[in-house]
């Protein structure tokens, strides 16, 4: 049975469709677009075509597609250029539409291509990883990475719809599922204490009966945050709260070249660091740090760097983070388990000490 939730953004509003298997719904949408005379194209990754070939073929028979290499390295200027050339070669016009079929990398890459090709065409998200389902497919943030930092080039471009089919998680490697759980845990920490406590009592797995409900809970929370602060312009709080753990995590990804850690793994380390920073600011106690780290570890996520990283390049990466305002980094910290806040002007010594406690040297 298909359920829906709307992200309310006026003329840019769109539905999130939830179900176990949405193959028929997507195929019907593809046929309707073709009947309207609209050209469509699919952007996906090579691994998905291998793992989900039957579902992919059923949804997109005879639709032109480009499959890029899986992984964060594909969020690059070079691959972005390939995708734009593909759309041009397929003669996608301003009435055309792109389907982004894959994880967070594909959603960001395809969404940015759609935002910039012909000054903007429509796109639809079909997330196939837990991380993309609960976070990156909702909210309209698109972009690619530069050597200087993660997501430094991008655009706000809302999709026309998001189709979230939990059956697609059946072939997801365990490490990828765990990476997605970092974002689920993040939502519990920043705005849903009940969710966090449920994850404490019983770790979530791909076979959990509660999985579909948890995904919907995370999407609903993100939808409400995005509705209130779509372009992350609030002076305090707002959409920036969704970056809990990400300032530290993005620095880890950038310094390691986007290859050693999955995004969710880096975010997990970032959540541990953010919790430790919150203690140093006098906002929470050591018991809260222990609870955060136990939940992360119970979901097979790292809470420390696998091998030491030099502190200086990590701090330099933070200084280039896109959330910097007036030259000062802005962090999301915990006021309690289930409530977060943004904070600027934090002393460098506290940031450095927090990074050291998770393995920086």
Task: Say yes or no: 88 and 149 in one domain.
Answer: yes
What's the pLDDT at 327? 63
Q: Judge whether 210 counts as a catalytic residue.
A: no
What's the pLDDT at 325? 64
* Dist. CA 162–CA 350, nearest whole Å: 40
Task: Say yes or no: 326 and 214 in one domain.
Answer: yes
DSSP-derived pairing of the beta strands 97-102 and 122-127: parallel
Task: Say yes or no: 283 and 325 in one domain.
Answer: yes
Q: Which of 11, 36, 119, 207 is catalytic?
A: 119
Q: Which of 47, 150, 222, 330 is catalytic?
A: 222
Q: Judge whether 239 counts as a catalytic residue.
A: yes
**Distant-in-sequence, close-in-space partners of 163: CB < 8 Å, separation ≥ 6:** 17, 22, 25, 26, 124, 125, 126
CATH number at residue 205: 1.20.1090.10
Q: Which of 150, 157, 239, 330 is catalytic?
A: 239
Q: Which of 145, 243, 276, 293 is catalytic?
A: 243
Give tens-digit pLDDT for 281-311.
999 999 999 999 999 999 999 999 999 999 9
Task: Say yes or no: 286 and 184 in one domain.
Answer: yes
Task: Say yes or no: 13 and 61 in one domain.
Answer: yes
* Dist. CA 232–CA 323, nearest whole Å: 10
Task: Say yes or no: 142 and 218 in one domain.
Answer: no
Q: What is the mean pLDDT of each run of 10 residues along the chain (361 residues)?
A: 92 97 96 96 91 86 94 96 98 98 97 98 97 97 92 96 95 95 98 97 96 97 96 92 96 93 97 98 97 98 97 93 70 97 94 97 96
Q: Judge whether 175 counts as a catalytic residue.
A: no
CATH number at residue 30: 3.40.50.1970
- Which of 112, 139, 171 represents a domain boundary (last residue)? 171
* pTM for the predicted model, two decimal places: 0.95
Q: Which of 75, 250, 276, 323 is catalytic?
A: 250
Q: Judge whether 157 counts as a catalytic residue.
A: no
Q: Judge whether 222 counts as a catalytic residue.
A: yes
Largest Cα–Cα separation, the chain: 61
Q: Judge whether 243 counts as a catalytic residue.
A: yes
Burial group, residue 156, by CB count within 10 angstroms (0-12, 13-18, 19+): middle
- Which of 136, 171, 206 represents a domain boundary (last residue)? 171
The conformation of residue 260, written as its DSSP 8-state character, comes to S
Burial group, residue 132, by CB count within 10 angstroms (0-12, 13-18, 19+): buried
Q: Which of 72, 232, 265, 293 is catalytic?
A: 232
Q: Judge whether 193 counts as a catalytic residue.
A: no
Task: Say yes or no: 163 and 24 in one domain.
Answer: yes
What's the pLDDT at 50? 83
The conformation of residue 166, written as its DSSP 8-state character, comes to G
Task: Say yes or no: 332 and 255 in one domain.
Answer: yes
Q: Judge whether 299 counts as a catalytic residue.
A: no
State how far the alpha carbon of 267 is from the alpha carbons of 37, 92, 246, 326, in Å.
42, 36, 6, 24
What's the pLDDT at 126? 97
Q: Which of 157, 186, 246, 323 is catalytic?
A: 246
Task: Say yes or no: 154 and 210 in one domain.
Answer: no
Residue 29, token pair as written in the block: 């949408």
Range of the domain at 95: 3-171
> Domain total for the chain?
2
What's the pLDDT at 49? 82
Q: How many CA atoms lie within 13 A of 356 on its CB side?
A: 8
Task: Say yes or no: 202 and 161 in one domain.
Answer: no
Task: Say yes or no: 74 and 135 in one domain.
Answer: yes
């Amino acid at each position: 049975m298909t359920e829906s939730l709307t992200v309310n953004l006026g003329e840019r509003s769109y539905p999130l469709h939830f179900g176990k298997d949405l193959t028929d719904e997507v195929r019907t949408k593809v046929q309707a677009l073709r009947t309207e005379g609209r050209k469509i194209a699919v952007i996906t990754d090579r691994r998905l075509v291998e793992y989900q070939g039957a579902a992919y073929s059923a949804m997109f028979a005879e639709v032109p597609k480009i499959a890029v290499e899986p992984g964060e390295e594909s969020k690059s200027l070079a691959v972005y250029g390939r995708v734009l050339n593909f759309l041009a070669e397929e003669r996608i016009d301003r009435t055309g539409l792109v389907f982004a079929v894959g994880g967070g990398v594909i959603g960001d890459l395809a969404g940015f291509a759609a935002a910039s090709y012909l000054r903007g065409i429509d796109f639809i998200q079909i997330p196939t990883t837990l991380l993309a389902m609960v976070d990156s497919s909702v909210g309209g943030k698109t972009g690619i990475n530069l050597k200087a930092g993660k997501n430094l080039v991008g655009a706000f471009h809302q999709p026309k719809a998001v189709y979230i089919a939990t059956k697609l998680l059946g072939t997801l490697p365990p490490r990828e599922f765990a990476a997605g759980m970092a974002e689920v845990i993040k939502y519990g920490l920043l705005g849903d204490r009940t969710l966090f406590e449920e994850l404490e009592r019983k770790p979530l797995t791909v076979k959990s009966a509660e999985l579909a409900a948890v995904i919907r809970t995370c999407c609903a929370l993100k939808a409400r945050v995005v509705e209130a602060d779509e372009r992350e312009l609030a002076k305090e709080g707002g959409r920036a709260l969704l970056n809990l753990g990400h300032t530290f995590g993005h620095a880890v990804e950038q310094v390691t070249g986007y290859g050693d850690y999955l995004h969710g793994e880096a975010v997990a380390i970032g959540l541990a660091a953010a919790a430790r920073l919150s203690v140093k600011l006098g906002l929470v106690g050591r018991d809260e740090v222990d609870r955060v780290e136990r939940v992360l570890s119970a979901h097979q996520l790292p809470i420390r760097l696998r091998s030491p990283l030099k502190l200086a390049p990590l701090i330099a990466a933070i200084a280039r983070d896109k959330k910097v305002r007036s030259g000062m980094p802005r962090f999301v910290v915990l006021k309690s388990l289930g409530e977060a806040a943004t904070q600027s002007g934090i002393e460098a010594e506290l940031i450095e000490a927090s990074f050291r406690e998770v393995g920086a040297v």
